[in-house]
Amino acid sequence: MALSRLSSRSNIITRPFSAAFSRLISTDTTPITIETSLPFTAHLCDPPSRSVESSSQELLDFFRTMALMRRMEIAADSLYKAKLIRGFCHLYDGQEAVAIGMEAAITKKDAIITAYRDHCIFLGRGGSLHEVFSELMGRQAGCSKGKGGSMHFYKKESSFYGGHGIVGAQVPLGCGIAFAQKYNKEEAVTFALYGDGAANQGQLFEALNISALWDLPAILVCENNHYGMGTAEWRAAKSPSYYKRGDYVPGLKVDGMDAFAVKQACKFAKQHALEKGPIILEMDTYRYHGHSMSDPGSTYRTRDEISGVRQERDPIERIKKLVLSHDLATEKELKDMEKEIRKEVDDAIAKAKDCPMPEPSELFTNVYVKGFGTEVLH
């Protein structure tokens, strides 16, 4: 039974474990081999193995962190509807496997830059719930001091460079970070994430071209959730095989609802990028919410389609089945963990609500380099 193998080790994502999770961490270090749900489809490269090495601790950590991400995004939905979050808000529920699988394959020396659906990427990089909800509600304790909001999360000390609102603009910036990594001989890579809606941007191809010319350690990750705002991929792209879009650059199509497939692909891509230069990963994923909170998400797709993906491909349910089949926890233990996660999220929200708003003088900071431009005198 699971309870015969329990101890209280700490989380690899540097977050304090709840009591339920601490009880479940196993002392059994025997490797677990998991086969990916689907084979990889490759362009100009040999695909990686479908057999992925894992452990009981990683499986449980995947379940807990993805459940935390899901609960955080559902709570953000409620806060937005209560008008405690203003402006734009793009939620990530359904796509959690991309964030957690990518993080499991890399280190904090490796950089990540993404678009505006960034809350869960920030959490995966080691950010806290308190920072998330404080930023969403415009409070001083937020990761961007309450001035960035939903679309502009950052964590520079963990090599997370945002959080960008201009469609596709983060890709050239990511390639620039990869240039710096190569120039400084850091032996690290950059993951530049973008959606299928950004995949037709000219700047993406310009950045990819120079990255290929200079063999930069850049990994372009297309999170293909099949709808660019309300436009289906087939209506926007003559060739929706985004992993082939690099032409002369290798690519890999990945089941983005399978955290272990994402982990294996990112591990493969990192090694490739360090040795040979850029590569494209297309993550076949799905978002349950609309494009943003202003989009109900049901006018351009059916409710049956959404519920069908939930039933057949949900990334958290997939991990849950693995946890149960390897006898790492019982249904009740996982439900207890989910209850503690709900309380953790509620506590973080309450704490964020008590935080003050930024001072009016903050309007003029972080605009120019310090010592230049406008300054406020008290």
Residue 164 — φ and ψ, nearest 5°? -135, 140
pLDDT tens digits, 88-139: 999 999 999 999 999 999 999 999 999 999 999 999 999 999 999 999 999 9
State the virtual CA torsion across 116, 241, 207, 96 in degrees, nearest 10: 30
Instruction: Tell me which amino acid residue 265 is.
Output: A
For residue 145, how many other CB atoms are within 10 A of its CB? Answer: 17
Please check the confidence at residue 205 and state whether its pLDDT lies above 50.
Answer: yes
Top-confidence residue, 331 or 372: 331
* Residue 1 confidence class, pLDDT cut points 50, 70, 90: very low
The structural domains of the chain, ordered by start, are 32-230+255-349 (3.40.50.970)
Place of tokens 């290929």: 212
CA dihedral 161, 166, 168, 170 (to 10 degrees): -20
Structure-token pair, residue 279 = 């590569």
Average pLDDT of the residues in 234-250: 97
Q: Are strands 218-224 and 279-284 parallel, antiparallel or unpaired?
A: parallel
Per DSSP, 186 falls in state -
Alpha helices by DSSP H, 137-228: 170-183, 202-213
This prediction has a pTM of: 0.93
pLDDT band for position 369 (cuts 50, 70, 90): confident
CA-to-CA distance for 160 and 156, rounded, in angstroms?
A: 5
Average pLDDT of the segment spanning 252-265: 98
